[in-house]
Amino acid sequence: MTALLPTAFEAVTVEYAAVAPMLIVVGAALVGVLIEAFAPRHLRHTIQVGLTLVALVAALVVLVLLSVDNQAVTAGGSIAIDGPALFLQGSLLVFGILGVLTMSERFGGRSADAFTPMGAATPGSPAEVAADRAGYATSEAFPLTMFAVFGMLMFVSANDLITMFVALEVLSLPLYVLTGLARRRRLLSQEASLKYFLLGAFSSAFFLFGAALLYGYAGSSDLAAIAAAITTSNSAYEGLLLPGVVLVLIGLLFKVGAVPFHSWTPDAYQGAPSPVTGFMAAATKLAAFGAILRFAYVGVEASRLEWRLGVAAVAVLTMVVGAVLSVTQTDIKRLLAYSSVAHAGFILVGVLAFDVTGISGVMFYLVAYGLSTIAAFAIVALVRSGGSEATHLSQWAGLGRNHPVVAGIFALLLLAFAGIPLTSGFTAKFAAFAPAVAHGGLAGVVMVVVGVLASAVTAFVYFRIIVLMYFTEPSGDEVVALTPSIASTVAITVGALGTVILGVVPGPILDLTGRVSQFLQ
């Protein structure tokens, strides 16, 4: 045994150029923890925002300039830096930058006239107190966000079930804490955080149990080894394969909010601070679908005939439940939460095409949806009534008359969610549905038909909000849209421009996703 140890350790090599973005992100997260411990309180927010943004931009630059040319399966086969991983990691870093920009906002219950730009408030001033009360100036949010981003970067590149589980926990635990950071509605936020944590623990248990069964089936947790065992049918434990695949998929489908594993979604989206909700909705969905793609296409694709119809049923349920329940919502954040559930079903349709065009369509959809979602929740954070977020739909009545720019951008984003032509939502739905029709057989056609009908239902919901903003008389307390800082303005502008550009000229991104849709094994 002792003679074998050196050989085993020497066989594990790390391609540092390939994993450099992940190292930069986790390094910045660790430095952020030290800043929380030693930096003066009144400087922490500014230092943390600067450090986080610099680290994320540096990681993105390194990914584009270095990692792209050093694709490899590294770290003993546990990490695969290939085309899909690089595209999804780059998208995650962009979402991280936009999310941090919205989280850096430092307004509380102030009106637009009393707005003070980020960093202008002095320690102990009313503006600083208001910011603390709002929960957005909580500086520990930034290292937590970096740890979550690190877990997501590892999640989409994990080539081994154990590494995938570790990444799942690394990305999830900070999100549980971030969900509970809202100060103005503290009890609601903490309740949402607890629900998210408890249900997340169940999903992790499902994933780990499934990984154990697949290890028993293949004698390895490596996705390539599992695929080889399925292809050659040389396992003596055939009965472990299907339960293992199903349990792992349950753990992954929980993270995307698919029905019936979606019950955490409306509570977490409503209770978390709106900027955190936007980041969580965009980045977590992208990371989880990246892991689903790798698990389904690299690890267990050869056995898909045994479980594909079950996941197709989940996709249909997800689209139907998300669309129907979104009609009944009166809270804007819960409405967007059920909209997110419906979108998870739309993306699953593309996953189940089991063709390279399906991978391309899913990745395009994730980018388009993420950009729109971060901008939408950033706008939700700006709309205030009585010193707190105006989340009830009735409070948005007449917003278009008093704040036409804010209402106009939000209407554009809602049109994208509905899939109206010349927005990114229409192109994304076409990119996800077309491969299912071409390669998914009868099940694919059925899913697309249900998806189109569900899209029509959700379109009613979004148009109802637009009518409310522009054609309904306001009632009750005065609703104001606060003037955002430069940081939030940049995030909203990027999201809105991305929504338009990906709808009008989607060709470059579609071509890119088509070129990078091959997994390394």
Give me the DSSP letters along 132-179: HHHTTT-TTHHHHHHHHHHHHHHHHHB-BHHHHHHHHHHHHHHHHHHH
pTM listed for this prediction: 0.91
The pLDDT-based confidence of 238 (bands split at 50, 70, 90) is confident
Write out the two tokens for 222.
Answer: 């490596």
Higher pLDDT, 136 or 16: 16
- Does the pLDDT value for residue 304 go beyond 60? yes
The answer for 135, left when phi > 0, alpha when psi is -120 to 50, beta otherwise, is: left
Handedness of CA 424, 425, 426, 432 (dihedral sign): positive
- Does the pLDDT value for residue 360 go beyond 50? yes
**Cβ atoms 259, 314 nearer than 8 A:** yes
Neighbours of 386 (CB within 10 A): 12
**Cβ atoms 412, 372 nearer than 8 A:** no
- Does the pLDDT value for residue 451 go beyond 70? yes
**Cβ atoms 299, 291 nearer than 8 A:** no
The pLDDT-based confidence of 392 (bands split at 50, 70, 90) is confident
The pLDDT-based confidence of 75 (bands split at 50, 70, 90) is confident
In percent, the amount of the chain with pLDDT more than 90 equals 63
Per-residue model confidence (pLDDT) at position 2? 42
| CA atoms of 267 and 271, how far apart (whole Å) | 6
- Does the pLDDT value for residue 497 go beyond 80? yes
Per-residue model confidence (pLDDT) at position 3? 43
Highest mean pLDDT pick, 111-125, 450-464, 478-492 = 450-464
pLDDT-wise least confident of 90-94, 137-141, 482-486, 509-513: 137-141
Per-residue model confidence (pLDDT) at position 10? 53
- Does the pLDDT value for residue 429 go beyond 90? yes
| CA-wise closest residue to 433 among 252, 506, 425 | 425
Per-residue model confidence (pLDDT) at position 106? 66
Three-state secondary structure readout of 212-261: HHHHHHHCCCEHHHHHHHHHHCCCCCHHHHHHHHHHHHHHHHHHHCCCCC
- Does the pLDDT value for residue 108 go beyond 50? no
- Does the pLDDT value for residue 4 go beyond 50? no
The pLDDT-based confidence of 481 (bands split at 50, 70, 90) is confident
User: pLDDT by residue (tens digit) across 313-351?
Assistant: 999 999 999 999 999 998 999 999 999 999 999 999 999
The pLDDT of 369-379, averaged and rounded, is: 94
Phi, psi at 120, each rounded to 5°: -85, -20
User: pLDDT by residue (tens digit) across 20-50?
Assistant: 999 999 999 999 999 998 988 888 888 999 9
The pLDDT of 483-505, averaged and rounded, is: 92
Per-residue model confidence (pLDDT) at position 233? 78
pLDDT-wise least confident of 354-363, 448-457, 476-485: 476-485
- Does the pLDDT value for residue 477 go beyond 60? yes
Higher pLDDT, 420 or 183: 420
Task: Report the length, in residues, of the chain.
Answer: 521
- Does the pLDDT value for residue 120 go beyond 90? no
The pLDDT-based confidence of 235 (bands split at 50, 70, 90) is low
List the domain boundaries for the chain.
Answer: 14-515
Average pLDDT of the chain to the nearest whole number: 87
445 SS3 class: helix
Q: What are the residues whose beta carbons fall under 8 Å from the beta carbon of 508, sequence distance 6 or more?
A: none
